[in-house]
């Protein structure tokens, strides 16, 4: 085996590309396996590297928010992010963003990335969500019918600074708390709790054997770990609703029987509309490429379904205006499976990562970027995730309504906001730990609350800025400068 053969010097094995370097007795500590030196040795060299970064980027520096003179105003930011979208859908997107400051933040990932590119960074990179706000966590079904809670939106995913996700989450929690009517101390505490849960979870993962940390699944144990017991009732209600949120239920409401015994979608404008035959055929034909992106063991499953119809469906706040289709498949019993074929635009973070001095390789295929990024961050992913190309544009493909459910962070009771913050902070740490060494991040974050305080201060300041941005957009809508269609 070329390159893998053991040396003759005492059975020494050379470095194998793709594996960590083995350096005698120190390798056990570096691998997180416990070197016999007690709990203090859990991090080895990686932990020391993280701690050393505190001298370069003090944890207190993360409170900094310096908005540069070239920052786009709210209207310009919305207009820039609308480029390339379907023009007639843009007013729907603007209307949704104008609804509340939290909704504005949801649609302004690029604007926040502009601001984050000018904040202090450790330059430890991870696969980040890129849009880790409080509404992008939720329940979904695994392959065996169970429910998992995790990050569930990856349109902006990219390799980037872990701090950007954490700060976006923290700021969104302040805005969500304000929308619930919680007092300012509670809102700030939510951001503080999210950062604290992130830090503590990263330390926990750093101590675990590597496989245990890698396979850590968010379940009831997570609620216990984050002391989110007040949230249990809400999660149970969301889970019960999610179990019924299936392709079958969607198809029952959104399709009608045809004379030949099949089914077809029914127009429900502006959210759902049938498409011309040529467009439907083009989308259906693109599924052939999609099949090549799936593991081979998935192909017999999909071979037992036939494609019956295609419709266009408007999607969530940040994605409104992108091209998105639902494809109706039926099995031999007429039972439906619905796939979503959703346009994958370049991540809104890319130009701002470049501005911050990071090298950003051009994506081979934006749908592939989204799918691989999702798989890198989740422990359990949709078994039918893939990508394709429709009319020269990249798309991602996934199951639609795969028992998805979410907690509305803006509708939580005030005493639940901090529980939700701790839970999402822990989930974010687990997701980052798949690509960033948790020992290094934990070494930087440390034991005390210095990082928590800084992130909370940033979150409050950024929430204030977002409220001002939202007010600018609302004023522009009222003045007729920007078209908006509210309530859709």
User: Mean pLDDT, the chain, as a whole number?
Assistant: 89
Residues 6+ apart with CB under 8 A from 6: 12, 13, 14
Q: Which residue has tokens 């740490």?
A: 429
- Per-residue confidence at 34, pLDDT binned at 50, 70, 90? very low
Residue 357 confidence (pLDDT): 95
CA 191/CA 202 separation, integer angstroms = 17
Q: In this predicted structure, what is the pLDDT of residue 129?
A: 98
Question: In this structure, how many other beta carbons lie within 10 angstroms of the beta carbon of residue 229?
Answer: 10
What is the per-residue pLDDT for 402? 80
Distance of CA 235 to CAs 315, 346, 405, Å?
24, 33, 9
What are the tens digits of pLDDT across the range 267-295? 998 889 999 999 999 999 999 999 999 99
Beta bridge partners of 387: 396
**pLDDT for 403:** 82
Listed in sequence order, the DSSP H helices in 295-402 are: 299-302, 350-355, 366-377
* C-beta of residue 275 within 8 angstroms of C-beta of residue 325: yes
Q: Which of 54-63, 314-323, 362-371 has the lowest mean pLDDT?
A: 314-323
C-alpha to C-alpha distance for 440 and 53, rounded to whole angstroms: 9
Least confident of 64-68, 111-115, 210-214: 210-214
pLDDT at 33: 35
Token pair, residue 212, equals 């245990």
Q: Worst-scoring range by mean pLDDT, 37-46, 311-320, 417-426?
A: 37-46
**Cα–Cα nearest to 449, from 203, 113, 216, 112:** 203
Distance CA 267, CA 285 (A): 22
What pLDDT score does 218 carry? 58
pLDDT tens digits, residue range 65-110?
999 888 999 999 999 998 888 888 899 999 999 999 999 999 999 9
Overall average pLDDT of the 385-403 stretch: 94
Does the reported pTM lie above 0.85?
Answer: yes
Contact by Cβ (8 Å): 157, 377 = yes
Say if CB 163 and CB 115 are below 8 A apart.
Answer: no
Report the pLDDT value the prediction gives residue 36, as an integer from 0 to 100: 37
**Which H or E element spans position 150?**
strand 147-151
Sequence ranges of the domains in the chain: 1-488
What percent of the chain has a predicted confidence (pLDDT) above 70?
A: 89
């Amino acid at each position: 085996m070329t390159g893998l053969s053991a040396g003759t010097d005492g059975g020494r094995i050379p470095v194998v590309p793709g594996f960590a370097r083995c350096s005698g007795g120190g390798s056990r500590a570096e691998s997180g396996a416990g070197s016999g030196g007690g709990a203090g040795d859990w991090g080895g060299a990686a932990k020391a590297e993280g701690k050393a970064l505190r001298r370069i980027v003090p944890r207190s520096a993360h409170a900094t928010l310096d908005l540069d003179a070239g920052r786009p105003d709210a209207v310009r930011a919305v207009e820039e992010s609308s480029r390339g979208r379907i023009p007639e859908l843009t007013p729907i997107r603007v209307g949704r963003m104008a609804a509340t400051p939290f909704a504005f933040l949801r649609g302004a990932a690029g604007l926040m990335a502009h601001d984050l590119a000018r904040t202090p960074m450790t330059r430890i990179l991870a696969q980040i969500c890129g849009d880790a706000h409080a509404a992008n966590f939720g329940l979904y079904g695994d392959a065996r019918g169970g429910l998992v809670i995790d990050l569930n939106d990856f349109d902006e995913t990219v390799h980037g600074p872990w701090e950007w996700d954490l700060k976006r989450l923290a700021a969104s929690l302040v805005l969500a708390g304000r929308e619930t009517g919680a007092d300012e101390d509670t809102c700030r505490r939510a951001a503080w709790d999210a950062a604290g849960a992130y830090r503590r979870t990263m330390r926990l993962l750093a101590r675990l054997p590597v496989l245990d940390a890698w396979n850590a699944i968010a379940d009831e144990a997570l609620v216990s770990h984050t002391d989110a017991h007040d949230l249990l009732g809400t999660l149970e209600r969301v889970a019960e609703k999610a179990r019924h949120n299936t392709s079958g239920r969607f198809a029952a409401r959104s399709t009608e029987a045809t004379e030949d015994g099949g089914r077809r979608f029914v127009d429900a404008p502006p959210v759902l509309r049938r498409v011309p035959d040529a467009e439907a055929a083009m989308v259906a034909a693109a599924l052939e490429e999609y099949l090549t992106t799936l593991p081979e063991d998935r192909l017999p499953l999909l071979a037992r379904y036939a494609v019956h119809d295609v419709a266009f469906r408007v999607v969530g706040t940040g994605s409104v205006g992108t091209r998105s289709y639902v494809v109706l498949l039926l099995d031999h019993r007429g039972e439906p499976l619905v796939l979503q074929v959703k346009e994958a635009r370049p991540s809104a973070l890319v130009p701002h990562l470049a501005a911050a001095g990071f090298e950003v390789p051009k994506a081979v295929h934006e749908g592939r970027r989204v799918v691989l990024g999702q798989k890198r961050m989740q422990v359990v992913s949709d078994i039918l995730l893939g990508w394709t190309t429709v009319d020269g544009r990249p798309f991602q493909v996934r199951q639609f309504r795969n028992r998805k459910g979410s907690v509305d962070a803006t509708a939580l009771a005030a005493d639940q906001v901090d529980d939700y913050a701790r839970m999402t902070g822990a989930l974010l740490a687990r997701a980052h730990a798949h690509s960033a060494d948790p020992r290094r991040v934990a070494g930087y974050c440390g034991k005390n609350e210095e990082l928590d305080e800084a992130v909370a201060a940033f979150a409050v300041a950024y929430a204030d800025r977002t409220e001002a941005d939202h007010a600018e957009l609302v004023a522009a809508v009222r003045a007729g400068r920007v078209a908006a269609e509210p309530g859709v």
